[in-house]
Structure 1
Amino acid sequence: MTSLDGTAARARLLELIKELAVVHGRVTLSSGKEADYYIDLRRITLHHEASALVGQVMLAMLDDAGIDFEAVGGLTLGADPVATAIMHVARSQGRAVDAAVVRKAQKAYGMQRQVEGPSVEGRRVVVLEDTSTTGASPLAAVEGMRKAGGQVQAVAVIVDRATGAQALIEEGTGVPYFAAFSKDELGLD
């Protein structure tokens, strides 16, 4: 796929999210809360076309906000393909941005790491998630990154569900929260 300009990339990604990721019907979210829709962003982050758009849109959003970072990552599994997409798009632009995977808990064997990938110690990092309802996953990832010595600069998600996660994350971590899309942009209420 050839790279689209920022406006076209964002518009195309929004179109793909609406088409592929928004599932209507009563569902129970990982938080235990019920909703009338589900945003299955793995249908986007693991999609052959949308993945590159995720990287392009998320990287541009962070750059536009003036966030300076050397690595990205978050709690496995939702953040993993987002981090990889940003890493690949950054590389295509001649930039060095590493990806990291944050486990829910530190391993009890091997290297006994909670954060996998190139070391984040002493490095500026952005914590990622595909979407967040309660903020629990990004909060856990921020804690893991900080324990590993990462200097967390921001938390960024693809879609904000407008359920209070932003305030919780910003208050709980002291870093800004960014979302590429709001649920309103997806036509959800």
Structure 2
Amino acid sequence: MSTNDPQRARLAQLVRDLAVVRGTVTLASGLESDFYVDMRRATLHHEAAPLIGHVMIDMLEEEGLGTDVVDAVGGLTMGADPVATAMLHAAASRGLELDAFVVRKAAKDHGMKRRIEGPGVEGRRVVVLEDTSTTGGSPLEAVEALREAGAEVLAVAVVVDRATGARERIEAAGLPYLAALGLNDLGLE
């Protein structure tokens, strides 16, 4: 994605201002970091969320994964949920068709007993999302569930790449890894 893109530049500024928290933290991966990117502060923000939807759609289109190729987006709950919703709304605002889905950590034990919520994914082309990824574990868990449900997973796309191994692990699994923002965009390198 072009560094001259004003929407991407504004999103980077909002993520820096809203989501970057300085201080020693232990990440979900167990790794320690001197900063944390609390993406819920951006993905659920009135200005940042719509920008996330548009920036992510633009990124997919630039990679040849527009709505003419991709049927639906989503990932493991909770990080992917607001990203998928933002993309669904951004697509609709452009007159495009893009569904969203949620992958539960485990299938429900009641009702429909589904692990993947939303429009069905069987036989559909999907992109797995994450707000920010450290090791790539969450997106890969979603990939496995989606493949079991009969979806064709085309790529993994994240809003922020922490440059801590997710790209390498996902690409080693044979999937393209796309990131809208990197640490340099957030002034963290």
The bucket for the TM-score relative to the shorter chain is over 0.9
Query: CA offsets, 1:144-171, max 9 Å, x none?
Result: 1111111101100001000111110111
**1:129 match:** 130
* 2:180 counterpart residue number: 180
Measured against aligned partners, the alpha-carbon deviations of 1:110-157 in whole angstroms (never above 9, x if no partner) come to 211110000011000000000111111000010111111111011000
The separation in 2 between residues aligned to 1:45 and 1:185, in whole angstroms, is 17
Aligned to 1:116: 117
Q: Which residue identity does 2:41 align to in structure 1?
A: R
**Matched residue, 1:92:** 93
Q: Matched residues in 2 for 1:11 and 1:47: separation?
A: 16
C-alpha distance in structure 2 between counterparts of 1:98 and 1:133, whole Å: 26
TM (normalized to structure 1)?
0.94
TM-score when normalising by structure 2: 0.94
- SS of 1:184's equivalent? helix
Q: Distance in 2 between matches of 1:164 and 1:29?
A: 13
Equivalent residue for 2:61? 63
Percent identity reads: 62
How far the C-alpha of 1:108 sits from its partner, in A, is 2.3
Which structure 1 residue ranges, 5 or more long, are not aligned? 1-5
Give the 4+ runs in structure 1 shifted more than 3 A.
none
Match of 1:176, as an amino acid?
Answer: P
Worse-superposed segment, 74-83 or 99-108: 99-108
Secondary structure class of the residue paired with 1:185:
helix
Tell me whether 10-19 or 107-116 shows the greater mean CA deviation: 107-116
Supply the AA of the counterpart residue of 1:73. Answer: G
Of residues 54, 75, 80, the one that matches 2:52 is: 54
Q: How many residues align?
A: 183
Secondary structure at the aligned position of 1:36 is classed as strand
